Chain A
Amino acid sequence: MQKATIQLETLTCPSCMQKIENGVKSLDGVDKESLSVSFNSSKVKLNFDDEKVSIKDIENTIDKLGYNVIKSQVKAL
């Protein structure tokens, strides 16, 4: 399992959070309980199983939803 903190470009509406949450949650290997999207710091924090899903997959999902990923930090749990 890995722990990721993804910094996004400024989020401007609370429904952005919901979109990102729903989008990332749908990925197999993402620990749904650990997922949090912060409107104020524009950060996504989550734990994921790197054998099922990669940080790139997660970044792409967020990117497809229309949000720019600035940088990601990944650490082993």
Chain B
Amino acid sequence: MQRHILKKKNHITIISGILIVIAYISKLGFGNINIFTWSLIISSAIGATPIAIQAYQSLKVKVVSIDVLVTIAVIGAFLISEFEESAIVTFLFLFGAYLEQRTLNKTRSAIKELTEMAPENALKQMENGEFEEIEVDEVDVGNILLVKTGAKVPVDGTVLTGEGHINEASITGESLPVSKNKDSQVYAGTILENGTIQIIANRVGEDTTFGKIIELIEEAQDSKSEAERFIDKFSKYYTPVVLVLAFIVWLFSQDIELAITILVLGCPGALVIGVPVSNVAGIGNGAKHGVLLKGSEVIGDFSKVNTIVFDKTGTLTIGNPKVTDKEIYADNVDEILSYLASVEKESDHPLAKSVVEYIGDTKAYAVEKTEVVKGGGIVAQVNGHRVAVGNVALIKQENVHLSEKTRADITKFEKNGNSLVLTSVDNELKVLMGIRDQIRPGVKENLQKLKKLGVKNLVVLSGDNQGTVDLVASELELTEAHGHMLPEDKSAYIKKLIDKGQIVAFVGDGVNDSPSLALAQIGIAMGNGTDVAIETSDVVLMNSDFSRLPHALGLTKSTAYNMRQNIIIAVGVVLVLLASVFFSEWMNMSIGMLIHEASILVVILNGMRLLRYKLK
């Protein structure tokens, strides 16, 4: 019976509201006080029933909840025949709860949408070789699964057969489909846009990358700052204290109306709900835009950041070096470039890859007597010629004569921030190439946005040579640039900044920057949602798009501001209500409940504004 009544709470709210309307029509329209009074009595009784059941259930588990306060207040109102008060209070309380549920659902919708991207079913290969649809929870590691066009990949796994293109936006933020074939890794929650593949499950359920992201977001929602923990503790004792206070007031004044008004006014709703609502809406907005914020403490700290330190490669630059400058000191250009490409194909050095990529399709020569010179390059026999490919040191070692012009070219290339690849054929310099990592598109504009958001220092730390780092810094208008830095040098430098009183965020790829990510007040992993990045950082930019960073900073600033607004609204309302009960004539139980419920809705609606946040 009790359960049935609780399940029909919304119907009860409507009936209670209709009875109140009937009561006022009969009084104001027809002057019928009898119908007015009885309608209010019935409305109170019907409305108070589910509240009283909840109060009883709360007391049974030793919790003095708001239902207890309202139930006592309604009983008190009944005792002094204030049926108008009791009916309006119960209706407002029920209707307020209904609206709270609706608006809170909206606030949490962003995160809900993300969790709904989780796969639910999988096609598993049975012992007879046929594929049958099962629930994703039933998939075990080692199972062979079939993924058809348009389906979600159910687990993290490896492609056994077939090929196709997968949209991995849910994991990496990259919206361009990625080609997959035998031995490619695939991730749960991604979508096979075309093709058909069979995969073997490597990680299932909560162990998948997607599962970890969801878990991280849910934990982030519940992680509390010190202020919130205080509010929680405070609210635990607050309600019983209000109950005692109301009793004391009644004891001394014998004024039941005053005592029950205090009970209603003392409900702590907006205060305990205001901060979590902002938090959830902020985290939800971030999740929707490829930004994972690990909780309200992180939001608070990140919003105060005034120094952002960047790793260079893969963060400010693409991490894919390209040939940007070249000089050729020969007439038989095609032949020389073919020699160079043939030698470079022997190497897996990143610079060699850039050279091969730059030269493209060309005649391939057999490469013989290959000799790798450590820290220098490669020397080999190609088509009967001695070909040396490497840096200036190797070329000097080969006794190659460098003319005035080539020396000037080398100086110019170095100034431009290039790494150099020189090629000599039979001890004559034939090719000089300058290779540079490219600045990520849009980085400069986004760094300007960070400055506008109040970041005073933008610092780049890199293992590369100082010239290269300086060039990147001047191109991007950074405030500081330091090269030749090992991971431990980077973290030492960050410590120095923190000791100076700066609030520092470090942005890296989350793989070799763990010490710096951990040391900075805010560690931001740019990247593709790898386990390491997710584990070690405070903020993960799932999207490799650099514009997520100013969005993340702007969002945390707005969220922190929104939390403060909600606390001010909540505390302000409580103070005004309590002051007015003692020092004004107009305050009563119904007005108190109306203001109380309105303040809860105001803080929820205020928090909801964050869902629509976009960096201007």
Which residues of B come within 8 Å of A, CB atoms?
2-3, 6-7, 50, 53-54, 57-58, 60-63, 65-66, 97, 100-101, 104-105, 108, 111, 137, 205, 218, 221-222, 232, 235-236, 239, 269, 272-273, 276, 279-280
If the complex has contacts A19-B63, A64-B2, are A10 and B104 also in contact, measured as CB distance less than 8 A?
A: yes
B269 neighbours in A (Cβ, 8 Å): 13
A43 neighbours in B (Cβ, 8 Å): 218
Contact assessment for A15 and B63 in the assembled complex, using a CB-CB cutoff below 8 Å: yes
Contact assessment for B111 and A15 in the assembled complex, using a CB-CB cutoff below 8 Å: no
A36 neighbours in B (Cβ, 8 Å): 222
Contact assessment for B63 and A22 in the assembled complex, using a CB-CB cutoff below 8 Å: yes
Chain A, 19-35, CB within 8 A of any chain B CB: 19, 22-23, 26
Contact assessment for A15 and B101 in the assembled complex, using a CB-CB cutoff below 8 Å: no
If the complex has contacts A10-B101, A22-B61, A64-B57, are A40 and B108 also in contact, measured as CB distance less than 8 A?
A: yes
Count of residues in A whose CB is under 8 Å from the partner chain = 25
Contact assessment for A41 and B63 in the assembled complex, using a CB-CB cutoff below 8 Å: no
With beta carbons under 8 angstroms apart, the residue of B6, B108, B239, B279 that contacts A15 is B239
Chain A, 31-60, CB within 8 A of any chain B CB: 36, 38-41, 43
Contact assessment for B236 and A40 in the assembled complex, using a CB-CB cutoff below 8 Å: no
Contact assessment for B111 and A41 in the assembled complex, using a CB-CB cutoff below 8 Å: yes
- Leading 7 A-B pairs by shortest Cβ distance: A22-B61, A40-B221, A15-B65, A12-B100, A66-B6, A23-B61, A14-B272
Let me know if A65 is at the binding interface, CB within 8 A.
yes
A10, A13, A68: residue with the most chain B Cβ atoms closer than 10 Å:
A13
Contact assessment for A65 and B65 in the assembled complex, using a CB-CB cutoff below 8 Å: no
Give the distance in Å from the alpha carbon of A16 to the alpha carbon of B57 in the complex.
11
Q: Nearest CB to that of A12 among chain B residues?
A: B100
A15 neighbours in B (Cβ, 8 Å): 58, 63, 65-66, 235, 239, 272
A63 neighbours in B (Cβ, 8 Å): 3
Shortest CB-to-CB span from B599 to chain A, Å, is 14
Binding site secondary structure of chain B: helix
Contact assessment for B232 and A14 in the assembled complex, using a CB-CB cutoff below 8 Å: yes
Q: Nearest CB to that of A65 among chain B residues?
A: B57
With beta carbons under 8 angstroms apart, the residue of A14, A40, A65, A75 that contacts B280 is A40
Q: A12-B104, A13-B273, A40-B108 are in contact. List 5 more A-B contacts (CB 8 A).
A: A9-B101, A26-B61, A36-B222, A66-B57, A75-B205
Contact assessment for A14 and B57 in the assembled complex, using a CB-CB cutoff below 8 Å: no
- CB pairs A–B below 8 angstroms (13 shown): A13-B66, A14-B235, A15-B235, A15-B239, A19-B57, A23-B60, A26-B61, A38-B218, A39-B222, A40-B276, A41-B111, A41-B218, A66-B54
Give the distance in Å from the alpha carbon of A65 to the alpha carbon of B50 in the complex.
11
Shortest CB-to-CB span from B608 to chain A, Å, is 14
Q: Nearest CB to that of B68 among chain A residues?
A: A15
Contact assessment for B3 and A64 in the assembled complex, using a CB-CB cutoff below 8 Å: yes
B236 neighbours in A (Cβ, 8 Å): 18
Contact assessment for B2 and A39 in the assembled complex, using a CB-CB cutoff below 8 Å: no
Shortest CB-to-CB span from B218 to chain A, Å, is 5
Give the distance in Å from the alpha carbon of A39 to the alpha carbon of B235 in the complex.
14
Contact assessment for A12 and B97 in the assembled complex, using a CB-CB cutoff below 8 Å: yes
Give the distance in Å from the alpha carbon of A19 to the alpha carbon of B65 in the complex.
8
B111 neighbours in A (Cβ, 8 Å): 41
B105 neighbours in A (Cβ, 8 Å): 10
Give the distance in Å from the alpha carbon of A22 to the alpha carbon of B60 in the complex.
9
Give the distance in Å from the alpha carbon of A73 to the alpha carbon of B205 in the complex.
11
Shortest CB-to-CB span from A45 to chain B, Å, is 9
B57 neighbours in A (Cβ, 8 Å): 19, 23, 64-66
With beta carbons under 8 angstroms apart, the residue of A10, A23, A65, A68 that contacts B108 is A10
Contact assessment for A14 and B273 in the assembled complex, using a CB-CB cutoff below 8 Å: yes
A39 neighbours in B (Cβ, 8 Å): 222, 276
A12 neighbours in B (Cβ, 8 Å): 97, 100-101, 104, 273
Contact assessment for A40 and B2 in the assembled complex, using a CB-CB cutoff below 8 Å: no
Contact assessment for B63 and A13 in the assembled complex, using a CB-CB cutoff below 8 Å: no
Shortest CB-to-CB span from B52 to chain A, Å, is 11
Q: Nearest CB to that of A26 among chain B residues?
A: B61
Q: Nearest CB to that of A45 among chain B residues?
A: B218
B58, B97, B272: residue with the most chain A Cβ atoms closer than 10 Å:
B58
B273 neighbours in A (Cβ, 8 Å): 12-14
B2 neighbours in A (Cβ, 8 Å): 64
If the complex has contacts A10-B108, A15-B66, A41-B218, are A66 and B53 also in contact, measured as CB distance less than 8 A?
A: yes
Give the distance in Å from the alpha carbon of A65 to the alpha carbon of B276 in the complex.
23
A16 neighbours in B (Cβ, 8 Å): 65
B2, B6, B63: residue with the most chain A Cβ atoms closer than 10 Å:
B63
Shortest CB-to-CB span from B556 to chain A, Å, is 17
Give the distance in Å from the alpha carbon of A73 to the alpha carbon of B378 in the complex.
60
Give the distance in Å from the alpha carbon of A64 to the alpha carbon of B58 in the complex.
11
A66 neighbours in B (Cβ, 8 Å): 6, 50, 53-54, 57
Q: Nearest CB to that of A73 among chain B residues?
A: B137
Give the distance in Å from the alpha carbon of A43 to the alpha carbon of B105 in the complex.
14
Give the distance in Å from the alpha carbon of A74 to the alpha carbon of B488 in the complex.
45
Give the distance in Å from the alpha carbon of A59 to the alpha carbon of B403 in the complex.
85
